[in-house]
């Protein structure tokens, strides 16, 4: 006999809590059941769309649900009966169209094209043909957002016992910041209700509408959870990008920062600081050009290029070393001065002037001795974001794979847990191909300010409403309270 999943939840609180938590990591029995049944339906060529609470979850409203709703045609339902009943699935009672996964005990309810939501009586909104109302993602076919909202509105409007459906629509409006004109995609029967619910969301305290940036080509209402997360990161990154150039403060020393900020008069200071930014704190590394200037009077390139290798080493090491690896860094510095003199006629600004492509700039930094991909991309990213240097494009500037960024990407569910820096670089390329490093800035900010290794302060983090880690903590709290 198959034990019902919902009964197990009621009987075993500890297990229910665990399931609740796993649900938000998409590993609960309900998620596994959904994967299994959708795979079977696809194998049998039965058109379907995932509806109900799991479709809601897919579209961004994440709450625990204990069953799976699947929309099929009447012919599809016949095939389901013929091919699935008794073969890993059992009807909840004799003759029922609702099956139970024999292994997990999770209930699978089949909704049928042409039937009516809510009170079940004829009305202008009926369950659509799945072939005409789905979007596919990760090999699963989901009810499209307009259809989901339309059905929930019609259901809540006509059945007093289904008011929860109206609350679900409110939540979708809030979480996805659905615009007023989204209502135009809905059946006229439900449009007024949509407008009414949207107005109530707007009037509620703390209501906030977020316009996703144009870099995301999908209309706002098609966004999935991951799109939403990436949209918020991109939006934050673009705020930095679009801001006016300001005096940057990397070192905590006004005079040292002044030298770095003088990109026009001392562009080589920026290049040399980038070279030094390894195996030591950012503050100390970026102050090295200023410390060198203190040691030999000024930082004019005409003076630097006259230094011998021995003199460079002496200035780098005496009276005390400026870097943790003074010998290696002295060689890098001497080599950089020679390259700037030879390749750029003594003017390091030629590396990034005249709107080069991002690939050219990254490559030029990469050519300096001791510079790997991380520093080359960091240099290009700082020029664009902090110094507002225009490039022809930004597509070759990769994310850094910094430890903060790795942690935040993982907690946001953009990568597996404990991703390698390379994994982060690749996923950032996939998620933000026009400017992969744009995701770096907000991720770093989140990691530095709120997403600390031991105790993330999710309540203060602007990703809280979409972050799977934060939501799973909230869910566990809700279940246990």
Closest CA to 377 of 280, 307, 385: 385
Instruction: State which residue, 63 or 123, has the beta carbon closest to ligand SF4.
Output: 63
Q: How far is the CB of 455 from ligand SF4 (least distance, A)?
A: 9
Shortest Cβ 448–ligand SF4 spacing (Å): 11
Window 447-466: residues binding ligand SF4 (CB under 6 A): 450-451, 456, 458, 461, 463-464
57 phi and psi angles, rounded to 5 deg = -60, -45
Angle at which helices 267-276 and 288-296 cross, to 10°: 120
> Of the two residues 116 and 462, which places its CB atom closer to ligand SF4 in the complex?
462
Interface with ligand SF4 (CB under 6 A), residue from 130, 467, 472, 475:
467
Of the two residues 156 and 456, which places its CB atom closer to ligand SF4 in the complex? 456
Is 232 a binding residue for ligand SF4 by CB under 6 A? The answer is no
Query: Which of 267/456 has CB closer to ligand SF4?
Result: 456
Min dist. Cβ of residue 417 to ligand SF4 (A): 12
Please give the C-alpha separations between residue 100 and each of 1, 4, 7, 30, 49, in angstroms, as whole numbers: 11, 8, 13, 11, 18
Find the binder of ligand SF4 among 411, 428, 439, 445 (CB under 6 A): 411
Q: Helix 145-158 to helix 188-203 angle, to the nearest 10 degrees?
A: 90
By CB under 6 A, name the one of 408, 424, 425, 438 that touches ligand SF4.
408
Q: Closer to ligand SF4 at the Cβ: 223 or 396?
A: 223
Residues 107-126 contacting ligand SF4, CB under 6 A: none
Write down the residue that tokens 């599809």 correspond to: 76
Q: Give me the least distance between CB of 231 and ligand SF4, in Å please.
A: 15
Q: How many residues bind ligand SF4 (CB under 6 A)?
A: 14
Residue 471 CB, nearest approach to ligand SF4 (Å): 8
- Minimum Å distance from CB 26 to ligand SF4? 16
- Residue closer to ligand SF4, measured from CB, 209 or 457: 457
d(CA 451, CA 291): 34
Contact indicator for 421, 377 with CB cutoff of 8 Å: no
SS3 at position 481: coil
Opening angle at CA 272, ends 313 and 252, nearest 5: 105
User: CB 339 → ligand SF4: shortest distance, Å?
Assistant: 40
Residue 396, token pair as written in the block: 């070759």
Q: What is the CA radius of gyration of the chain?
A: 29
Residue 165 contacts residue 152 (beta carbons within 8 Å): yes
Judged by beta carbon, residue 105 or residue 468, the one nearer ligand SF4 is 468
Residue (223 or 469) nearer to ligand SF4, CB: 469
Quick one: which of 28, 144, 469, 472 contacts ligand SF4 (CB under 6 A)? Answer: 469
Cross-strand partners of 25: none
DSSP track, 219-276: -GGG--HHHHHHHHHHHHHHHHHHSPP----SSS-HHHHHHHH-TTT-HHHHHHHHHH
Whose Cβ is closer to ligand SF4: residue 438's or residue 467's? 467
- Shortest separation between residue 480's beta carbon and ligand SF4, angstroms: 19
Write down the least CB distance from residue 464 to ligand SF4, Å: 4
Among 178, 412, 431, 475, binds ligand SF4 (CB under 6 A): 412
Note whether 143 binds ligand SF4 by CB under 6 A: no
State whether the Cα torsion 96-97-103-105 is positive or negative: negative
Q: For residues 237 and 356, which CB has a smaller minimum distance to ligand SF4 in the complex?
A: 237
Distance (Å, whole) CA 62 – CA 57: 5
The phi-psi region of residue 417 (left if phi > 0; otherwise alpha if psi is between -120 and 50; otherwise beta) is beta
Q: How far is the CB of 275 from ligand SF4 (least distance, A)?
A: 32
Query: Does 438 contact ligand SF4 by CB under 6 A?
Result: no
* Residue pair 133/49 in contact by the 8 Å Cβ criterion: yes
- 470 interacts with ligand SF4 by CB under 6 A: yes
Q: Which residues bind ligand SF4 (CB under 6 A)?
A: 408, 411-412, 446, 450-451, 456, 458, 461, 463-464, 467, 469-470
């Amino acid at each position: 006999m198959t034990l019902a999943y919902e009964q197990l939840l009621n009987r075993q609180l500890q297990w229910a809590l665990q399931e609740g938590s796993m649900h938000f990591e998409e590993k609960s029995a309900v998620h596994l059941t959904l994967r299994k049944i959708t795979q079977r339906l696809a194998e049998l060529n039965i058109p379907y769309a995932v509806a109900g609470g799991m479709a809601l979850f897919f579209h961004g409203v994440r709450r625990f649900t204990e069953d799976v709703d699947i929309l099929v045609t009447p012919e599809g339902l016949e095939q389901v009966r013929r091919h699935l009943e008794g073969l890993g699935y059992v009807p909840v009672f004799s003759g029922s169209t609702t099956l139970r996964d024999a292994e997990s005990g999770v209930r699978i309810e089949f909704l049928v094209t042409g039937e009516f939501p809510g009170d079940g009586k004829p009305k202008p909104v009926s369950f659509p043909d799945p072939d005409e109302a789905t979007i596919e993602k990760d090999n699963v076919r989901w009810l499209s957002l307009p259809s989901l909202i339309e059905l929930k509105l019609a259901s809540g409007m006509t059945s007093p016992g289904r008011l929860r459906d109206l609350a679900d629509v409110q939540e979708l409006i809030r979480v996805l910041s659905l615009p007023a004109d989204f209502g135009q995609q809905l059946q006229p029967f439900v449009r007024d209700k949509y407008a009414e619910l949207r107005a109530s969301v707007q009037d509620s305290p703390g209501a906030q509408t977020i316009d996703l940036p144009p870099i995301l080509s999908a209309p706002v209402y098609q966004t999935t959870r991951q799109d939403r997360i990436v949209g918020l990161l991109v939006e934050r990154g673009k705020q930095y990008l679009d801001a006016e150039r300001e005096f940057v403060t990397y070192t905590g020393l006004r005079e040292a920062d002044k030298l770095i900020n003088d990109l026009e008069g001392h562009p080589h200071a920026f290049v040399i600081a980038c070279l030094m930014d390894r195996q030591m704190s950012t503050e100390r590394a970026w102050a090295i050009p200023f410390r060198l200037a203190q040691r030999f009077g000024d930082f004019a390139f005409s003076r630097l290029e006259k230094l011998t290798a021995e003199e460079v080493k002496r200035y780098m090491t005496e009276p005390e070393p400026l870097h943790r690896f003074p010998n290696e860094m002295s060689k890098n510095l001497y080599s950089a001065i020679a390259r700037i003199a030879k390749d750029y006629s003594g003017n390091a600004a030629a590396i990034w002037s005249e709107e080069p492509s991002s690939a050219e700039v990254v490559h030029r930094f990469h050519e300096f001795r001791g510079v790997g991909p991380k520093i080359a991309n960091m240099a290009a990213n700082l020029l664009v974001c902090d110094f507002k240097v225009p490039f022809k494009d930004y597509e070759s500037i990769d994310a850094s794979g910094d430890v903060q960024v790795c942690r935040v990407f993982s907690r946001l569910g953009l990568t597996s847990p404990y991703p390698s820096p390379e994994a982060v670089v690749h996923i950032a390329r996939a998620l933000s191909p026009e400017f992969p490093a744009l995701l770096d800035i907000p991720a770093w900010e989140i990691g530095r300010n709120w997403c600390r290794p031991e105790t993330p302060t999710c309540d203060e983090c602007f990703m809280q409403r979409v972050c799977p880690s934060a939501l799973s903590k909230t869910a566990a709290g809700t279940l246990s309270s």
